[in-house]
Amino acid sequence: MQCDICGKQDVLYSTLIEGVEMQVCSACSGYGKVMKRVAVKKLQLIANEKSMLEHPAPSAAVSEVVVDTYHILIRNKREQLGLKQEDLAKVMNIKLSLMQHIEQKKFKPNVELAKRFEKQLKIKLVELYREDFEQSKGKPSDALTIGDIIKI
């Protein structure tokens, strides 16, 4: 099973995003309301969690962010190439509704998806962003962790 947004092979969650139910990976599930975890073999999930523990995120400092003008950049380039939204959605292997939401700035692609757009359209959508560790450490996160989702 592949994530509907970034195409990653991963544990998937049925997630309600902009009123559309999609099967997305844990990284992309933060975009919407998680309804349920799509059944996967338990061993696979444990392996994923284990590898996350073995490779903790670096404590500092530089992260990648998607530029705020992503929707303009994508639309302009798509029109330049003479592609319809349907065409680009097909090439990107995403749903047309998602493509529309992206260009209407209703849905900000994550870094993974933005990088696929970069590759496809030869545009720049991802920037490096320096983050102070002390600040980010105290920042509350409202995203569901894998532990939270299992409890549901």
Report the interface residues with Zn ion, using CB under 5 A: 3, 5-6, 8, 25, 28
CB closer to Zn ion, 10 vs 103: 10
**Among residues 76 and 95, whose Cβ is nearest to Zn ion?**
95
Question: In b/e form, how buried is each residue of 70-109, taking b as 16+ CB within 10 angstroms?
Answer: bbebbbebbeeeebebeebbeebebeebbbebbbeeebbb
CB closer to Zn ion out of 32 and 74? 32
Rounded to a whole number of angstroms, the minimum distance from the CB of residue 12 to Zn ion is 8
Closer to Zn ion at the Cβ: 15 or 74?
Answer: 15
- In whole angstroms, the minimum distance from the beta carbon of 136 to Zn ion comes to 22
Shortest Cβ 8–Zn ion spacing (Å): 5
Supply the minimum distance, in Å, between the C-beta of residue 76 and Zn ion: 25
Strands (E), 76-143: 126-130
Q: Which of left, alpha, beta for 33 (phi over 0: left; psi -120 to 50: alpha)?
A: beta
Residues 6+ apart with CB under 8 A from 16: 32, 33, 35
